[in-house]
Amino acid sequence: MKKIYSGKTKDVMLLEDGNILLKFKDTVTGTGNVIDAGANTVIGEVAGKGNASFRLTMYFFELLQKAGMETHFVSPGPEENTMIVRRARSFNLEVVCREKAWGSFIRRYGQYIEQGAPLPSLVEFTLKDDQRGDPLITEDALVALEIVTPQEIGFMKETAKKATAILKAHLAERGLDLIDIKYEFGEVDGKTMIIDEISGDGMRVVRNGELLLQKELAAALLGANWDK
């Protein structure tokens, strides 16, 4: 097993069979002392957060797969907080689906919309580029720079909206309100699909007007004793 990447919240290892082992870490991102899943800076660690990310990713991937959506998820890994996935060629994009105006959307467009106002499953693309703050990129620019094709853009938008509808409905049944969520897409054996993770690290969820932290979301979905 060889480590090929160490990210803000996960380590990525290459297995002998060609699959990938993801190891979820306790690190959290935010601004100053405020934890924010949408931020790019690691501000510390929260004990048990890696386990919450792992369990939630398993939970959401299995939910999507039951709905007939293909992902690169294979199985839980052999070690604590690890997951085995198929190796993918990442497009190095974040595909954000917004159900309500929040975060960077308000920072950009707050003059025109209030925080929390509904949005029509609005899809945005950003480059995975921490040094430049994950800048927005237009669909035309994605094609002009040959990052992805028009067909891949259409597939990602449709898939992000479909996945978001499934997850939003599932959360709503449990009294939870999905604000926004980001996906990563990649190519596996010639097919474009959702890869990486789906957890509190990449979504905002509100309950009774309060944003839930990763461990709070895990408790809400997996039960009070999810970490036992």
> What is the per-residue pLDDT for 112?
98
The Cα 47–Cα 61 span in angstroms is 23
Instruction: Please give the pLDDT value at position 38.
Output: 65
**Averaged pLDDT, 46-56:** 90
Is the pLDDT reported for residue 39 higher than 80?
no
Segment 149-174, tens digit of pLDDT: 999 999 999 999 999 999 999 999 99
Q: What is the mean pLDDT of the chain?
A: 93
Is the pLDDT score of 203 beyond 70? yes
Instruction: Determine which of 35-49, 72-86, 175-189, 200-214 has the lowest per-residue pLDDT on average.
Output: 35-49
Range of weakest confidence among 35-39, 130-134, 195-199: 35-39
CB 53 within 8 A of CB 35: no
> What average pLDDT does this structure show over 111-133?
95
- Residue % of the chain over a pLDDT of 70: 96
pLDDT of residue 41: 79
Q: What residue segments make up the domains of the chain, in order of their start?
A: 2-85, 89-222
Q: Is the pLDDT of residue 33 over 90?
A: no
Q: What is the phi/psi pair of residue 167, to 5°?
A: -70, -40
Phi-psi region of 208 (alpha: psi -120 to 50; beta: other; left: phi over 0): left
Q: What is the pLDDT of residue 99?
A: 98
What pLDDT score does 58 carry? 94
38-40-42 Cα angle (round to 5): 110
**Same fold for the domain at 2-85 and the one at 89-222?**
no
**What residues have CB less than 8 Å from 17, skipping those under 6 apart?**
none
State phi, psi for 160 to the nearest 5 degrees: -60, -40
Superfamily of domain 2-85: Phosphorylase Kinase; domain 1 (3.30.200.20)
Cite the DSSP H helix spans in 86-135: 104-109
Encode 122-136: b = buried (16+ Cβ within 10 Å), e = exposed.
Answer: ebbbbbeeeeeebee
Report the candidate in 74, 228, 69 with the shortest Cα–Cα distance to residue 161. Answer: 69
Q: How far apart are CA 214 and CA 35, in angstroms?
A: 10
The helix/strand/coil state of 113 is: coil
Q: Which CATH number fits domain 89-222: 3.90.1150.10, 3.40.50.1370, 2.60.40.10, 3.30.470.20?
A: 3.30.470.20
The DSSP code for 106 is: H
